[in-house]
Amino acid sequence: AVDKALKSQTGHLDLFLRFLLGLSLESNQKLLHSLVTQTGSSSQIKEETVQYIKIRISEDLPAEKSINLLHCLNELGDDSLVEEIQQYLKSGTQSELSPSQWSALVFVLLTSAEDLEEFDLNKYITPDKIRNEILVRLMPVIAASRKAIIRCSEITGRSGEALTSVLNSETSSLRELHLTVNALNLSGNKLEDSGVKRLSALLENPECKVKGLRLYDCGVSDEGCAALASALKLNPSHLKELNLTGNKVGDSGVKCLSAVLENPHCKLEILRLSYCEVSDEGCAALTSALRSNPSHLRELNLSGNKVGDSGIKCLSAVLENPHCKLETLRLWNCGVSDEGCAALASALRSNPSHLRELNLSGNKVGDSGVKCLSAVLENPHCKLERLSDECVMVSNVNRKVREESKKTSKGSKEGDQVVAAGAEGAQACEVEEALTEQLSDLSQRSLESIRDEEQWSDTSEKDLYSVKQMNRNFG
């Protein structure tokens, strides 16, 4: 019966299990002696059941399942786990709790006669010892508290999923979240606009100190983005990283974020907006904000947005500002041509000393654009270390064509030169076809195959080559 109740996804057997175990007590069996056939020692069966339930509580179960099993122990008259926790609470000291004891702590706090006005997790455990499984077990207490205080390294994975459930719950009592965390990662959870609005209401509290907020593929639109931006305007100084990759925030959402970025108290260093349905209009708003407050942002990812040459020209105006400290710029598949590349190169000539990585993969950058970038690389102050593979591939194509041209032109007669020119054209077409095929393969990489920004970064790294190699190609 215990196993069946734990396997149930709906929880419809939970109350039945408690009722059944209550009936199994000897005192109740005496009342039902005419209906129950005794098959063994009642006390022995009870003890075996208690021990089995304790074993299951120690496992990695959903919080609500553990709580129900503690109710079952209560029905069986076994309060040993609860008594352990009550003694622990009376002692006022911190000690490392077992999984079963954490579940018992949750049970005690939730069944207390007092309302949960405030829950401070760090009364029970130091920040460095907080793990995902502990946060998952404690999430019902957080949801039942009006104010929760949590200081830990990160909330991610299952604990992020559990927090998302709290944010999406209409019955949650949580109104204040004093969260001090390096990374709050809710990526891949269907937070949607309603959940983001609740999260934003918590983030606007100055006691909420989140350094990294990752909301990759959370079903957020411009409406949710506006709520988030509003919260960050009120509490702008803690967030260092914001990842909204894969959400449909659009130009409207980016404009709201831009109003945050131009705030001199905003300390955002990493902004990832890949595949957010941003056009040149949103890019213009973003760059306008960065012109007002250019000194903090270190990484900008606009990959998969159709910002085009117009958007790149706006970005270039920011890059040429000597106060701009941008080190990583990712523009994969952004509809950029040689014209946009020339604008970038011009900006980098004016301010060559900060940018270290430039990804232009998936754009129609030809020999003209590559030559513009190559001229920048000749500047001894240029710190660019990584450039997308397509620029290198284009340089390889043209290098091979030039080499072939030199070979065929030496000592050739005029008629031979005509033939060589034809061969040169054929060679160029051949290499161009190979290039096109490779670029097509790159374009097939979909956002859906990348589950988080870390994997996205790893994938991008594979598309980057050493700038020194490019210089050798043009040398």
Q: How far apart are CA 332 and CA 95, in angstroms?
A: 50
Q: Per-residue pLDDT averaged across 176-183, rounded?
A: 96
Q: How far apart are CA 133 and CA 120, in angstroms?
A: 17
pLDDT band at 456 (very low <50, low <70, confident <90, very high): very low
pLDDT of 206 higher than 80 = yes
Mean pLDDT of the chain: 80
Collect all residues with Cβ–Cβ distance below 8 Å to 205 and sequence separation of at least 6.
176, 177, 178, 235
Least confident of 131-135, 167-171, 423-427: 423-427
What's at 88, amino acid-wise? Y
pLDDT of 27 higher than 90 = no
pLDDT in tens, 294-336: 889 999 999 999 999 999 999 999 999 989 999 999 999 999 9
pLDDT in tens, 263-305: 999 999 999 999 999 999 999 999 999 999 988 999 999 999 9
Query: Does the model's pTM come out above 0.85?
Result: no
Q: Are 105 and 112 in contact, with CB atoms under 8 Å apart? A: no
Phi then psi dihedrals of residue 214, to 5 deg: -115, 115
pLDDT of 426 higher than 60 = no
The token pair at 225 is 């983005």
Q: Per-residue DSSP letters for 243-266? A: E-TT-B-HHHHHHHHHHHHTSTT-
Q: How far is CA 359 from CA 344, 378, 385, 390, in A?
A: 12, 19, 11, 9
Phi then psi dihedrals of residue 238, to 5 deg: -100, -35
Collect all residues with Cβ–Cβ distance below 8 Å to 36 and sequence separation of at least 6.
29
pLDDT in tens, 131-144: 999 999 999 999 99
Q: Per-residue DSSP letters for 271-331? A: EE-TTS--BHHHHHHHHHHHHHS-SS--EEE-TTSB-HHHHHHHHHHHHTSTT----EEE-
Q: Are 167 and 199 in contact, with CB atoms under 8 Å apart? A: yes
Counting every residue written for the chain, the total comes to 475
Least confident of 32-46, 213-227, 428-442: 428-442
